């Protein structure tokens, strides 16, 4: 009602109006305002509203959603909020537990933050850090605590739990990507690995590509190995040729050369030739049959197949013939001369002065001459007894003749006397020869004695008997 005298509203203003005369409109939020003060038009907020015009809700952090006109929470903050009007959150605190007034985390920080209020982020390479910002745990892709500034190798395979490498050493936790090996998968597998994959620790791969060997397939097989049906040429670990050697080589790894005199340069695993070229023999064909005619010999034992060259004898024709053989030839088996030298050599003083052994033929001639002389003496003695002289004078003539014969023999060559045969044989072996003209004279005497003689008379016989 309006006072008639003053014009003032005695019972206040209607809703949304204020002033002495209720002529001014209130600015308060109708929904959040409990009333508008008539005197000054200020807004009185309802529960859950705040602000000068009651146009704002209390912060959600206010416990019970009750706050003062200026937003101060009447009942404190909910968990996870702090501050005067509970408008700040403690999201980085473990469990979002912090002091409502100060915001200090009561159970520590979540990963990646540090400080008492957990409001400072750890370095980018850290998953967790201490209160001073020092990393206590690196990110899954970094290592090198406490700095965690080193990135894990890109060749590390990602594991199911996310971590790639050890955060201290950087060693890959799982396997390496294909083609790499080593603690940090920093080494490259040999390009000669057939599968392109090798052992994580050693780099060993199985199998190697054709022509390569070794634990890591970094060595080559010998070029002298024969390839197999699968193309492989040698053992991976020992390098031994699996299928033998190419022609001209031998040994486990075919790096040794066959002897040069092997037929077609072929030899077995023991360096023994499968055959020898002409003129050589032996297991390695290293012996030359130089004494064989036309160099033809057995490749097994070296025995000559035809004959010896001039001046040689023996199964392998390696021995020299005796030097006095005619034309320097000799028996191929015994080495003895097949023909003696000319008889004129026996009169050559140079020949007798030669200190070398006499040829067998010369010795044989001497023995023959000596034997003929012995036979002649025996015949003369027998004839002497058979043919008797008629008178002492005739006997004396014969005696003189025999004496002359003995004297002649003694002057030209030694007569073999009974009991001296062994002595004369030794002399003969030492160089005694029977001259040809002496033998002729002996034959003349023999003929004269064996010619018919007059028969002795009885007187002569008596004289002979007395003798």
Q: Could you read off the pLDDT of 389-445 as tens digits, one per residue?
A: 444 444 444 444 444 434 343 333 343 343 333 333 333 333 333 343 444 444 454
| pLDDT confidence of residue 92 | 92
Predicted local distance difference test score (pLDDT) of residue 334? 86
- Report CA dihedral (165, 168, 171, 174) to the nearest 10 degrees: -30
Q: What is the pLDDT of residue 181?
A: 94
Its pTM stands at 0.42
pLDDT in tens, 46-92: 888 998 899 988 998 998 888 888 889 988 899 999 998 899 999 99
Nearest to 168 by CA among 146, 200, 185: 146
Instruction: Spell 125-152 as b/e; 16+ CB within 10 A means b.
Output: bbbbbeeeeebbbbbbbbbbbbebebeb
* Tokens encoding 2: 């309006």
Evaluate the CA torsion angle 332, 334, 335, 337 in order and state its sign.
Answer: negative
Q: Taking the CB of residue 88, how many other CB atoms lie within 10 A of it?
A: 19
By the 10 Å C-beta count (0-12 exposed, 13-18 middle, 19+ buried), 175 is classed as: middle
The residues near 210 (Cβ < 8 Å, ≥ 6 apart) are: 227, 231, 232, 233
pLDDT at 339 (0 to 100):
56
Q: For residue 95, what are the CA distances in angstroms to 98, 195, 397?
A: 9, 52, 172
Tell me which residues of the chain have a pLDDT lower than 50.
341-367, 387-443, 445-446, 449-467
Cα–Cα distance, 16 to 22 (Å, whole number): 9
301: phi then psi, degrees, rounded to nearest 5: -115, -5
| Residue labelled with tokens 């003032």 | 8
Torsions phi, psi for 380 (to 5 deg): -60, -45
Element (DSSP H or E) covering residue 43? strand 43-45
- Contacts of residue 223, Cβ cutoff 8 Å, sequence gap at least 6: none
pLDDT reported for residue 19? 84
The pLDDT assigned to 436 comes to 39
Helix (H, G, I), strand (E, B) or coil at 414: coil
Question: Vertex 339, ends 338 and 345: CA angle to 5°?
Answer: 145
The structure tokens listed for 372 are 């003929």
What 8-state DSSP symbol labels residue 447?
Answer: H
Residue 27's contacts (CB-CB under 8 Å, 6 or more residues apart) are: 41, 43, 53
Are 23 and 47 spatial neighbours (Cβ–Cβ below 8 Å)?
no
The rounded distance, in Å, linking the Cα atoms of 58 and 43 is: 15
| Pair 122, 109: CB distance under 8 Å | no
pLDDT of residue 332: 84
Q: How far apart are CA 179 and CA 418, in angstroms?
A: 112
């Amino acid at each position: 009602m309006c006072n008639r005298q003053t014009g003032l509203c005695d019972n206040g203003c209607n809703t949304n109006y204020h002033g002495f005369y209720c002529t001014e409109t209130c600015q308060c939020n109708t929904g959040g305002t409990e009333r508008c003060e008539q005197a000054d038009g200020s807004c009185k907020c309802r529960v859950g509203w705040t602000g000068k015009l009651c146009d704002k809700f209390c912060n959600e952090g206010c416990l019970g959603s009750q706050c003062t006109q200026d937003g101060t929470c009447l009942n404190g903050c909910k968990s996870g909020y702090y501050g005067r009007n509970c408008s700040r959150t403690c999201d980085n605190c473990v469990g979002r537990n912090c002091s409502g007034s100060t915001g200090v985390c009561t159970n520590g920080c979540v990963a990646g933050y540090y400080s008492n209020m957990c409001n400072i982020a750890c370095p980018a390479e850290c998953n967790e850090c201490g209160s001073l910002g020092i990393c206590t745990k690196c990110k899954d892709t970094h290592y090198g605590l406490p700095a965690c500034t080193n990135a894990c190798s890109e060749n590390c395979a990602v594991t199911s739990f996310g971590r790639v490498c050890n955060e201290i050493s950087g060693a890959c936790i799982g396997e390496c990507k294909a083609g790499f090996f080593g603690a940090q998968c920093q080494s490259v597998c040999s390009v000669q690995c057939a599968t392109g994959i090798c052992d994580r620790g050693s780099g060993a791969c199985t199998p190697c590509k054709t022509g390569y060997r070794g634990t890591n397939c970094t060595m080559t097989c010998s070029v002298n190995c024969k390839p197999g049906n699968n193309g492989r040429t040698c053992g991976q670990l020992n390098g031994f040729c699996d299928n033998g050697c190419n022609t001209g080589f031998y040994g486990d790894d075919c790096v040794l050369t066959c002897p040069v005199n092997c037929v077609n340069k072929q030899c077995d695993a023991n360096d023994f030739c499968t055959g020898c070229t002409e003129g050589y023999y032996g297991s390695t064909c290293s012996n030359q049959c130089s004494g064989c005619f036309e160099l033809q010999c057995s490749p097994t034992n070296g025995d000559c197949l035809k004959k010896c060259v001039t001046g040689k004898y023996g199964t392998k024709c390696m021995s020299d013939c005796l030097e006095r053989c005619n034309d320097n030839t000799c028996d191929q088996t015994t080495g003895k001369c097949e023909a003696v030298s000319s008889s004129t050599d026996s009169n050559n003083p140079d020949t007798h002065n030669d200190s070398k052994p006499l040829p067998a033929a010369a010795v044989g001639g001497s023995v023959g001459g000596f034997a003929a002389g012995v036979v002649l003496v025996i015949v003369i003695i027998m004839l002497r007894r058979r043919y008797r002289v008629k008178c002492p004078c005739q006997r004396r003539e014969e005696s003189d003749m025999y004496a002359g014969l003995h004297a002649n023999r003694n002057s030209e060559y030694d007569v073999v006397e009974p009991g001296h045969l062994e002595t004369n044989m030794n002399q003969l072996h030492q160089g005694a020869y029977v001259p040809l003209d002496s033998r002729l004279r002996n034959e003349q005497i023999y003929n004269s004695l064996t010619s018919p003689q007059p028969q002795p008379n009885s007187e002569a016989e008596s004289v002979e008997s007395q003798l």
